[in-house]
Amino acid sequence: MDDWTNIRWTEAGQIADLMELPREEVPEPDMVPRAFYLAARRRDDLETALSFLAHALPRYDAVAWAARVLERLAAAAPPDPSERQALDHALRWIEDPSDEHRRAAFDAAESAAAESPERLLALAVFLAGGSLAPADLPAVLPEASLGGRFAACALIAAAHRSGDPNAALAGALDLGEKIAEGGVEALPPR
């Protein structure tokens, strides 16, 4: 039985399509998401497992997962002030996913270093839903996979900045599995 109750996809191939995996990496038809994920973990392909999970989770949950991991890593190695501001705005949006907080996260991302995990996270917030156009113009919705894609990029960048990427990726995946099993409500309090 598959205990990933928070994953709505029924086939791993659906998620692989969102990830735009190369043809040779696409799972067999009818493979369930958890089986593909576990196979990637068993072969220590942690970045693929992480990206797969970020695309499989609901957008809000993927971004909340990334934010929680970045928050933990920031406690060990504080980011620069502009990156910290981007992280803080992402955390505000998670506490109150309003359009005001989503757009504030985007503004904070603009000030953060181009490839910082915090900037990528703030962009994940902005791309997780809502219009990309200014508030006074007709809505332009982002592609559905972008929130998860940027959340995965933020997690991978943070892991590589941590000094022990494999340990950071494994810790992130352990936390992500809890979200796959029960949603962000399954996480321990901050």
Along the chain (190 residues), what's the average pLDDT of each consecutive run of 10 residues?
Answer: 85 95 90 96 97 97 96 92 97 96 98 96 96 95 95 98 96 96 78
Residue that is written with structure tokens 């809890």 in the block: 178
State the amino acid at position 113 in one-letter form. A
CB count in 10 Å sphere of residue 131: 15
Residue in 113, 123, 57 with CA at minimum distance from that of residue 90: 123
Q: Which pLDDT does position 183 carry in this prediction?
A: 86
What distance lies between CA 50 and its chain's CA centroid?
Answer: 8
Q: Are 25 and 12 in contact (CB under 8 A)?
A: no
Q: Which pLDDT does position 184 carry in this prediction?
A: 83
Q: Are 45 and 76 in contact (CB under 8 A)?
A: no
Q: Which pLDDT does position 3 carry in this prediction?
A: 84
What distance lies between CA 150 and its chain's CA centroid?
Answer: 6
**Cβ-Cβ contacts under 8 Å for 14 (sequence gap 6 or more):** none
Residue in 54, 74, 48 with CA at minimum distance from that of residue 66: 54
Q: Which pLDDT does position 188 carry in this prediction?
A: 67
**Cβ-Cβ contacts under 8 Å for 92 (sequence gap 6 or more):** 101, 104, 105
Strand, helix or coil for residue 80: coil
State the amino acid at position 134 in one-letter form. P
